[in-house]
């Protein structure tokens, strides 16, 4: 499916770029842009989107949100997935790339709640805003999260912390 979406994106892009605009009716030419963005959205959802239902854990999920883990090296891409908070840990789940994998998602990062010393919000990479977990041992974990102002209080509440 992912490869089919890639080929479709490439074909639509080639038509838009290499087909002279005067050879196609204007409504068709401009509707190809909308079609391309629609296929791009489907590719994004198919490649990165993780739902709570697809995560198979025994603990109760107190909070979850889609986010991107900022890697330690600046040259690497974000690790996109679903950040979940359970009574015991904070974990990031990502779609599995393996074909035939029965779980479809895998845990790529986790930390015990006891190891989190502080939470702060602000810019985490470039112009992207997000949340930073300061961990024991002078380590930190940064996540890009959209609508951070709304979600910060929900994350603190899910961790069981009182905001003083």
Concatenated DSSP letters for 109-154? EEEEGGGEEEEEEEEEETTEEEEEEEETTTEEEEEE-TTHHHHHHH
Residues 31 and 112 in one domain: no
Domains of the chain: total? 2
- Asked if the model's pLDDT at residue 137 lies above 70, the reply is yes
- Asked if the model's pLDDT at residue 101 lies above 70, the reply is no
* Confidence category of residue 128, pLDDT binned at 50, 70, 90: confident
In the block, tokens 């359970």 appear at 86
- Domain with 138, as residue range(s), is 63-159
Residues 77 and 143 in one domain: yes
- The helix (run of H) or strand (run of E) holding residue 30 is helix 26-48
- pTM comes to 0.79
pLDDT of residue 99: 64
Looking at every residue in the chain, the average pLDDT score rounds to 87
The residue among 134, 130, 142, 133 whose CA lies nearest residue 72 is: 142
């Amino acid at each position: 499916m992912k490869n089919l979406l890639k080929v479709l994106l490439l074909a639509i892009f080639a038509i838009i770029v290499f087909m002279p605009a005067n050879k196609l009716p204007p409504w068709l030419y401009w509707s190809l842009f909308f079609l391309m963005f629609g296929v791009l959205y489907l590719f994004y959802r198919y490649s990165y989107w993780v739902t709570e239902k697809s995560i198979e854990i025994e603990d109760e999920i107190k909070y979850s949100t889609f986010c991107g883990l900022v890697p330690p090296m600046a040259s690497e891409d974000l690790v996109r997935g679903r950040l979940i908070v359970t009574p015991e840990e904070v974990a990031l789940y990502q779609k599995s790339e393996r074909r035939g994998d029965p779980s479809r998602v895998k845990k790529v990062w986790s930390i015990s709640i006891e190891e989190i010393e502080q939470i702060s919000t602000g810019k985490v990479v470039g112009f992207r805003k997000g949340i930073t977990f300061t961990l024991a041992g002078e380590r930190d974990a940064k996540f890009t999260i959209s609508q951070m102002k709304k979600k910060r209080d929900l994350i603190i509440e899910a961790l069981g912390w009182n905001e003083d």
